[in-house]
Amino acid sequence: MLGGVYVLVSVFKNQKGGTVNNMETRAKLCLGTLPVLLALILGYFRPDLTHVLPGIHSIWSDVTHAPPDAGDVSQAPPKGHMQKFGLHVDKEKELIVMDHFPSPEDFYRDHMRQSVPLVVRGSLKHWPAVEKWNNEDYLREKFGNREFTVMFKKSNDHSHKSHMTMSMTDFLDRYRDEHIYMDATLSPEMTEDLTIPRFLGCDAIMKMMKQFAVFFNAGWSSTYIHVDATETLFAQITGQRQWILIPPAHGKYLYVDDFNYHRGISPVEPEAVDLIKFPNISKVDIYNITLYEGDIIYVPEGWYHQVRTMGGPPNMAMAIFINYLLCSEGGHPPNRTDEMVMERCIARREATPKEINCKERMEDMPMHEFIAQYSYINPEAIDVALEFESPMAQLRSHISTLSSGFDMPGLGFGVSGQPTEKAKISTAHALRLRYSLFDTDPDDESEEILGTILASTPDVKREDVFIVVKVHPRNLGREKTIASVQRSLARLKTDYIDLVLIKAPSCNGMKFKCEADDNRGTWKESWEALEELIEGGKIRSLGVSNFKMSQLRKLIDFAKFPLSVVQSNFNLYNRKTKLRQFCKDNGIAFMAHGLMGVLETENGTRESPLLSHPKVDLAAKKYRTTPGTILIRWALEQDVIVAPPSTNVDHIAFNRHAFMLDIADSPWAIDMLTEYFPHVD
CA-CA distance, 88 to 290, in Å (whole number)?
Answer: 18
Map residue 170 onto helix, strand or coil: helix
Calculate the average pLDDT of the chain: 83
Q: Does position 67 have pLDDT exceeding 50, yes or no?
A: no
- pTM value is 0.71
Query: What is the residue extent of each domain of the chain?
Result: 43-325+337-367, 395-607+638-646
CATH architecture of residue range(s) 43-325+337-367: Sandwich (2.60)
Q: Does position 118 have pLDDT exceeding 80, yes or no?
A: yes
Taking alpha carbons only, the member of 322, 323, 286 closest to residue 303 is 286
Q: Cα–Cα distances in Å, from 125 out to 56, 95, 236, 292, 640? A: 39, 21, 10, 10, 51
Return the pLDDT at 166: 86
Strands 539-545 and 563-569: parallel
Contact call for residues 500 and 402 (beta carbons, < 8 A): no
* Residue 170 CB contacts under 8 Å (≥ 6 apart), including other chains: 432
* Residue 42 CB contacts under 8 Å (≥ 6 apart), including other chains: 49, 56, 57, 60
Tell me the per-residue pLDDT of 250-271, one tens digit each, with 9 for 90 and over.
988 999 877 665 677 899 999 9
Q: Does position 403 have pLDDT exceeding 60, yes or no?
A: yes
Burial 582-618 (b: 16+ CB within 10 A, else e): bbeeeebbbbbbebbbeeeeeeeeeebebbebebbeb
Taking alpha carbons only, the member of 218, 221, 134 closest to residue 177 is 218
Tell me the per-residue pLDDT of 407-446, one tens digit each, with 9 for 90 and over.
999 999 999 988 999 999 999 999 988 899 999 999 999 9
CA-CA distance, 378 to 374, in Å (whole number)?
Answer: 8
Q: Does position 557 have pLDDT exceeding 70, yes or no?
A: yes
Tell me the per-residue pLDDT of 637-648, one tens digit each, with 9 for 90 and over.
999 999 999 999
Most confidently predicted of 30-39, 347-356, 497-506:
497-506
Looking at per-residue pLDDT, the higher value among 196 and 41 belongs to: 196
Q: Does position 582 have pLDDT exceeding 60, yes or no?
A: yes
**Is the bond leading into 314 cis (omega within 30 degrees of zero)?**
yes
Give the CA dihedral 308, 310, 312, 318, nearest 10 degrees: -50
* Residue 164 CB contacts under 8 Å (≥ 6 apart), including other chains: 149, 150, 152, 650, 653, 654, 656, 657
**Is the bond leading into 562 cis (omega within 30 degrees of zero)?**
no
Q: Does position 102 have pLDDT exceeding 70, yes or no?
A: yes
Lowest mean pLDDT among 66-80, 212-226, 277-291, 573-587: 66-80
Q: Does position 134 have pLDDT exceeding 90, yes or no?
A: yes
- The amino acid occupying position 149 is T
* Residue 141 CB contacts under 8 Å (≥ 6 apart), including other chains: none
Q: Does position 354 have pLDDT exceeding 60, yes or no?
A: yes
Return the pLDDT at 153: 63
Contact call for residues 563 and 555 (beta carbons, < 8 A): yes
Please give the CATH superfamily to which domain 395-607+638-646 belongs. NADP-dependent oxidoreductase domain (3.20.20.100)
Give residue 99's pLDDT band: very low, low, confident or very high (50, 70, 90): very high
Residues pairing with 213 in the sheet? 185, 319
Q: Does position 174 have pLDDT exceeding 80, yes or no?
A: yes
Map residue 361 onto helix, strand or coil: strand
Q: Cα–Cα distances in Å, from 108 out to 8, 99, 115? A: 18, 18, 10
Q: If you count them, how many residues does the chain have?
A: 681
CA-CA distance, 533 to 520, in Å (whole number)?
Answer: 21
Q: Does position 499 have pLDDT exceeding 90, yes or no?
A: yes
Taking alpha carbons only, the member of 607, 619, 566, 560 closest to residue 590 is 566
Question: What values do phi and psi take at 152, rounded to 5?
Answer: -100, 130
Strands 209-217 and 240-246: unpaired
Q: Looking at residue 611, what DSSP letter applies?
A: G
Strands 296-299 and 147-152: unpaired
Return the pLDDT at 661: 79
Q: Does position 156 have pLDDT exceeding 50, yes or no?
A: no
Q: For the chain, what percent of residues have pLDDT higher than 90?
A: 56
Q: Does position 587 have pLDDT exceeding 80, yes or no?
A: yes
What angle is formed at CA 36 by the lines to CA 35 and CA 40, rounded to 5 degrees?
115
Map residue 251 onto helix, strand or coil: helix
Return the pLDDT at 609: 85
Return the pLDDT at 679: 72
What secondary structure, in 3-state letters, does 538-557 show?
A: CEEEEEEECCCHHHHHHHHH
